[in-house]
Amino acid sequence: MRKVMMPIVLAALVVFGTTFGTRAFELTVVHVNDTHSHLESVSDKLSFDGEKTYVKLGGWDRLKTKIDEVRSKNPNVAVLHAGDAVQGTLYFTKFLGKPEMEFMNLLGFDAMTLGNHEFDKGPDVLADFLEYAHFPVLCANLQAKADSRLAAEVKPYVVLEFNGKSVGVIGLTLKDTEVISRPGPVTFANEQETARKCVAELEAKGINNIIALTHMGYDADKALAANVKGIDLVVGGHSHTLLDDGRSLAALGMRGGGLYPTKVKGPDGSDVYVVTSWEWAKAVGVLKTVFDDNGHITECSGNAVLLLSDSFRRKNAEGKKVELKGAARDTVMDAVVKSPIAEVVGSDADAVALLAPYKKGLEAMRSEVIGQAAQSLPHIRMPGVSDSGEQLPQGSMIAPLVCDAMLWKTASVGLKPDLAMQNAGGVRTSVDRGPITVGTAYTLMPFGNTVYVLDLKGTQVVEALETGARRSGGAFAYVAGARYTVDMNKPEGKRVSHVEIRKDGQWQPLKPKAAYRLATNAYVADGGDGYEVLKFAGGYRYDTGFVVAQTFMDYVRARKTLHRPEATGITFIPEK
């Protein structure tokens, strides 16, 4: 139960005012999520006065500078990571989590919850890199064998102490991790039920300032806040959602996913706040809260701050990106100063020094050019509008080429595939026009999946495509050697139609009872992203051993130059 103030104390507050009352507890929460091994800054675009401007965002050197600044100005600071610290760049491909943990040690994180991608290489690799962590790693709904290494490394919650005040931080990971990652024998309990148990345990210890540190997604976080009594603040990740005050992002040419912080009514009528902070350490959330003696947040404000370098470029008349100077630069700098969510942040020397040997270890791997992209090849999970504002009614321009690479590779060794399929979430980024390197390939597909081939009936092919349409997002199915229509206005299980397979250069309607050979990645073949129809398909199935990223590199080398596909194979009818 939450603490209840005794009548005599209430009377003292009434008679003497706040002079003799208990002082409110102020806590500043600094948080990131879905950093995905992006230890260096990344290129992005912002708009200043309607002018597209190329910038660099993030980098753990800037993140450390910002966190140090917040600590210097506030007495009680909790630094939290809401999961998916790894998987997404060559740093994880080569070093398997060690540098990510060392950076979190350097920055002094107080806690981290596990994300689904922490499990991508199985529980043993996860346990290996968690040994480098000098901070609590949390996941209350993790169900691992009691004597396992993972169970020893991961705790359900931690109690942080700030000048005599205690704050309970509960870690929660989405239950779907069982489907969307490869956790092996590990399972996950229901998130809300687990949260209720942990809240009860903390309150029994007299702790009523409670934070849920989650990796479940923004919508699930709001549902958690609305349904679990006793939680005061939800710090989340997984959905890569960027929040603001409803106008500041638009001023920079960006779109927000909700308000920072988002206020939700808890089941007891109290205000519960939800925050999350985009991705890749491009932004860091800085939230100032005030708790009363009953453990309720009475004040809550802040921003997800974009961490900018001091480089601002625009295209000149020849189409080359050049550094802004003079009045144009002054105008941009003035806009940054006035923005509540953008900030030019300097680089921390200790962070640069920590990264240096790892960065050097990747130089040769990053720089080898394997081909060219004639145009930009943007990636979007489902057809619609890209982050840059480009209309992509057929969806991703790069995912179909990844499919084509699998189709080409398996055909080249005599496996005779009919079609290839790739889940949208298995492709992680867009490809810019210009040189394609080894680093590009492994950043594009960092998961280490191999190419599988398996035989399906036509009905099973349709069921697989329906799975992608039903689950949407990262599960959405891109194809090569096939084409289909998906109508999101139709009921689940009835959205896919007009499926055709390309045979001998001709499009032919898919036959429900005919056999087809599918090339896909090992994750999907094993039922990942809900593709159980593939996991349990009988008959021929074969792990080729070809790593998807390497297959794509071979494809690029053979093609030399990649172009945008004239058609992606997707006819998409959005929900009205």
Of 370, 351, 347, 371, give the one whose Cα is nearest residue 359: 351
Do the domains 7-356 and 369-573 sit in the same CATH topology, yes or no?
no
Type of residue found at 310: D
2 three-state secondary structure: coil
Cis omega (within 30 of 0) for bond into 261: yes
Burial class (CB in 10 A: 0-12, 13-18, 19+), 153: buried
Q: How many C-beta neighbours within 10 Å does residue 334 have?
A: 11
Length of the chain: 576
User: CA 100 → CA 97, 155, 563, distances in Å?
Assistant: 5, 19, 35
Please indicate whether residue 17 or residue 446 has the higher confidence score (pLDDT).
Answer: 446
What's the average model confidence in pLDDT over 122-147? 95
Q: Cα 437 to the chain's mean position, in Å?
A: 24
| Per-position b or e across 127-142, b if 16+ CB within 10 A of its CB | bbbbeebebbbbbbbb
The least confident of 340-349, 379-388, 389-398, 490-499 is 379-388
Please answer whether residues 567 and 480 qualify as being in contact, where contact means their C-beta atoms are separated by less than 8 angstroms: no
pLDDT tens for each residue of 286-324: 999 999 999 999 999 999 999 999 999 999 999 899 999
Q: Would the pLDDT of 22 be above 70?
A: no
pLDDT tens for each residue of 31-85: 999 999 999 999 888 999 889 999 999 999 999 999 999 999 999 999 999 999 9
Q: Would the pLDDT of 168 be above 80?
A: yes
Q: Would the pLDDT of 23 be above 80?
A: no
Q: Would the pLDDT of 210 be above 90?
A: yes
Q: Would the pLDDT of 4 be above 80?
A: no
The residues near 19 (Cβ < 8 Å, ≥ 6 apart) are none
Sequential DSSP letters for 108-154: T-SEEEPPGGGGTTHHHHHHHHHTT--S-EE-TTEE--TTSHHHHHE
Of 190, 204, 218, give the one whose Cα is nearest residue 159: 204
User: CA 50 → CA 47, 246, 318, 331, distances in Å?
Assistant: 5, 18, 20, 12
Hey, what are 559's tokens?
A: 């093609």
What's the number of CA atoms in the CB half-sphere (13 Å) around residue 412?
A: 12
Q: Would the pLDDT of 14 be above 70?
A: no
Please answer whether residues 328 and 322 qualify as being in contact, where contact means their C-beta atoms are separated by less than 8 angstroms: no
Of 93, 202, 98, 224, give the one whose Cα is nearest residue 157: 202
| pLDDT at res. 1 | 29
The pLDDT confidence band at residue 20, using thresholds 50, 70 and 90, is very low
Cα angle 179, 184, 189 (rounded to 5 degrees) comes to 60
**Percent of the chain surpassing pLDDT 70:** 96
What's the average model confidence in pLDDT over 19-32? 78
Please answer whether residues 427 and 444 qualify as being in contact, where contact means their C-beta atoms are separated by less than 8 angstroms: yes
Of 172, 36, 159, 160, give the one whose Cα is nearest residue 114: 172
Hey, what are 420's tokens?
A: 């290839």
The pLDDT confidence band at residue 251, using thresholds 50, 70 and 90, is very high
Q: Cα 531 to the chain's mean position, in Å?
A: 21
| pLDDT at res. 5 | 34
The domain 369-573 having CATH identifier 3.40.630.30: the answer here is no
Matching residue, tokens 């943007």: 378
pLDDT tens for each residue of 400-429: 999 999 999 999 988 999 999 999 999 999
Sequential DSSP letters for 416-469: --SEEEEEGGG----B-SEEEEHHHHHHHSTT-PEEEEEEEEHHHHHHHHHHHH
What's the average model confidence in pLDDT over 239-254? 93
Q: How many C-beta neighbours within 10 Å does residue 503 have?
A: 10
**pTM of the predicted structure, to 2 decimals:** 0.80
Report the CATH superfamily, name and number, of domain 7-356. Metallo-dependent phosphatases (3.60.21.10)
Distance CA 37, CA 97 (A): 8
Q: What is the domain partition of the chain in residue ranges?
A: 7-356, 369-573
Q: Would the pLDDT of 3 be above 50?
A: no
What's the average model confidence in pLDDT over 541-567? 93
Q: Would the pLDDT of 104 be above 80?
A: yes
The least confident of 9-23, 86-100, 132-146, 148-162 is 9-23
DSSP state of 348: P
The pLDDT confidence band at residue 180, using thresholds 50, 70 and 90, is confident
The pLDDT confidence band at residue 93, using thresholds 50, 70 and 90, is confident
Q: Would the pLDDT of 382 be above 50?
A: yes
Please answer whether residues 290 and 74 qualify as being in contact, where contact means their C-beta atoms are separated by less than 8 angstroms: no
Run of H or E residues at 349: helix 349-367
